[in-house]
Copies of this chain bind each other. A is one copy, B any other.
Amino acid sequence: MIIVMQRGASDAEIDAVVARIREHGLSEHVSKGSERTIIGAIGDERPLEPRHFEPLPGVERALHVVKPYRLVSRETQPEDTVVSIHGVRIGGPQLQVIAGPCSVETPEQMALSAAGVRAAGCRMMRGGAFKPRTSPYSFQGLGVEGLELLLAAARPAGLPVVTELMDVRMLDTFMEHDVDVIQIGARNMQNFDLLKEVGRINKPVVLKRGLANTVSEWLMAAEYIAAGGNHHIILCERGIRTFETAYRNTLDLTAVMVAKRESHLPVIVDPSHAGGKAWMVPQLARAAIAAGADGLLIEMHPSPCDAWCDADQALSPAELAELMDSLRLIAQAVGRTL
C-alpha cells in the first residue's frame, strides 16, 4: 500500500503512519518528494485498507498497489480453470450455450423446452423455479415444484441444469435434488452469507455480476466462494445499469475481457437479460463470443408470447437453432468450437 502525505505533513505525522504500518507487521519505505512525502508499506498488504490510514492526521490518501483478490487471480493460477459438469466443460476450447425458459411453468412447457434445447445442439439447460421479482405481486416462481419439473424434463434429455438459488435455507433442497449448477443472481452477488454457503459445497456455481458492481467487486464475490473451498466458479456478465433507457441494461463486454485477464475463471454472458428484447439476443450473443466469452446463458421458450415472465426476451426454439448456426462461424473465427 502507498500512503501519500499531505503537502507539509510533519515528521510526527509521518512517524504515526510508519508506526501503523509496523503494527500490521509490514515494513515501510519513506520517499520524500519535492511536493509530497510518499510512504510505501512493504509486505503482504492485503489485510491493510486505505481506511486504516486515511483518518490519520497529515495523510492525503492511501492506495492499494496489489489486487485484493488472491485465489481467483491469474497471478495465483496462470492457467485457465475449466469447470466440468458431467463431462460438459466450461472454460476450455469448446463453447457452451445454456438455454431454457426464464421460469418453469408446466410439464408440457418444460418438455418442449428440453426438446428445443437439444434440437439446437445445446448441452445444458436453464430454468427458473425461484424468481427474484421487483414486485411482490408478480409471479414468484413455482419453487420446489418448479425445481422438480425442471429436472424431470432435463434428466431424460441428458441435459445438466442451471437454476437460481435465492434463499440460503433452500440450499439443502438443491443438494437433495442434486441440481447440477447453482446460479447466484445479480441481486445476490454481494449476499455474503449466501456466497459463504455455496463456498462450502462441492458443486459448480454461476456467479452473475451485480447490476452496479465493478469487476473487482465481482471477483471479490468469487473470492468469497473460493475462500470457502469451492473452486468450481463460472462468472456471468448480464449487463450493467447506466444512464441509458433505450434498453434494459448495458452489456459490458470489456468486463468479460478484463475478468478473464485478471482471473483464471471461465466467464459466460447472458445476452437475454442484458438487452431485454429477443431481437437483440443474436447480435449480443455473437459479440460476446467474438469478445472471448466462454459461453452463453440464453432464454428460450417454446412459445415466447405466452411466457409467464420476460416473454419479450425469449427466443423460440427455431430462433435458438438459427443462432447456434451463426455462432459456429464466430466460434471458428476466434479459434473455438461450439
Closest to A132 in B: B192
- Per assembly, the copies of the chain total 4
Q: Is A280 in contact with chain B by the CB < 8 A criterion?
A: yes
**A46 and B246 form a contact (CB under 8 A):** no
Choose among B132, B246, B292 the residue that contacts A283 (Cβ–Cβ < 8 A): B292
**Set B46, B244, B304, B334: member contacting A55, Cβ < 8 A:** B304
B254, A138: Cβ atoms closer than 8 Å = no
Instruction: Tell me if B211 and A312 are in contact (CB < 8 A).
Output: no
Within 8 A of B (CB), among A46-75: 46-47, 49-52, 54-56, 63, 65-66, 68, 70, 75
Assess whether A97 is interfacial by the CB under 8 Å rule. Answer: no
Count of A residues near B, CB < 8 Å? 106
A95-135 interface with B by 8 A CB criterion: 132-135
Look across to chain B and name the residue whose beta carbon is closest to the beta carbon of A225.
Answer: B136
Question: Does A318 make an interface contact (CB < 8 A)?
Answer: no
Chain B CB within 10 A, most for which of A31, A261, A333: A333
| Complex A-B, nearest 3 residue pairs according to Cβ-Cβ distance, in ascending order | A212-B212, A329-B333, A290-B290
Report which A residues bind B (CB closer than 8 A). 2, 4, 7, 29, 31, 33-36, 38, 40, 42-47, 49-52, 54-56, 63, 65-66, 68, 70, 75, 132-138, 140, 166-169, 187-188, 190-193, 196, 211-212, 214-217, 220, 223-224, 227, 240-247, 250-255, 257-258, 261, 274-275, 277-280, 283-284, 286-292, 304-305, 307, 309-314, 326, 329-330, 332-334
